[in-house]
């Protein structure tokens, strides 16, 4: 069996451990390991697609239905006021596999424009965040 070609394919196959919050036949969602804010989720197709242009048409609705689901669940899970949803296509795309960022937002959180400062989780904190989000999405 060939090695998966990127970290998202590795997460899908179980070769890379991630803090998964949601999985369907067509999508996987997990915490970004370098979040803009804690609870920052990446929603990705389970079949490889480099970017939005490469995404097969039959995956468009399943992917964005789960993006919508995560965006709706984060306020309940984390107490945030809303979300920022974004996707890069090739330029500034750190992983060559389509992924949609769903970032929890609160008024006055300091995020301005497209400068995305990153933070880290304390030991055990990511699993706690993932659990809260999973519970909200159930």
Q: Are 66 and 105 in contact (CB under 8 A)?
A: no
Name the catalytic one among 19, 40, 99, 101: 99
Cα–Cα distance for residue pair 8/5, rounded to 1 Å: 8
99 is catalytic: yes
Residue carrying the six token digits 């919050």? 21
Angle at 53 between CA 23 and CA 113, to 5 degrees: 80
Q: What residues are labeled active site?
A: 99
């Amino acid at each position: 069996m060939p090695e998966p070609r990127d970290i998202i394919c590795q997460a899908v196959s179980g070769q890379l451990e991630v803090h998964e919050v949601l999985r369907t036949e067509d999508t996987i969602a997990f915490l970004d390991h370098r979040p803009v804010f804690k609870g920052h989720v990446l929603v990705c197709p389970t079949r490889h697609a480099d970017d939005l242009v490469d995404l097969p048409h039959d995956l468009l609705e399943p992917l964005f239905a789960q993006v919508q689901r995560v965006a709706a669940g984060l306020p309940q899970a984390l107490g945030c006021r809303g979300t920022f949803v974004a996707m890069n296509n090739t330029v500034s795309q750190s992983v060559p596999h389509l992924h949609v960022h769903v970032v929890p937002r609160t008024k006055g959180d300091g995020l301005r424009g497209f400068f995305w400062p990153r933070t880290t989780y304390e030991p055990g904190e990511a699993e706690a965040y993932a659990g809260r989000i999973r519970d909200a999405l159930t």
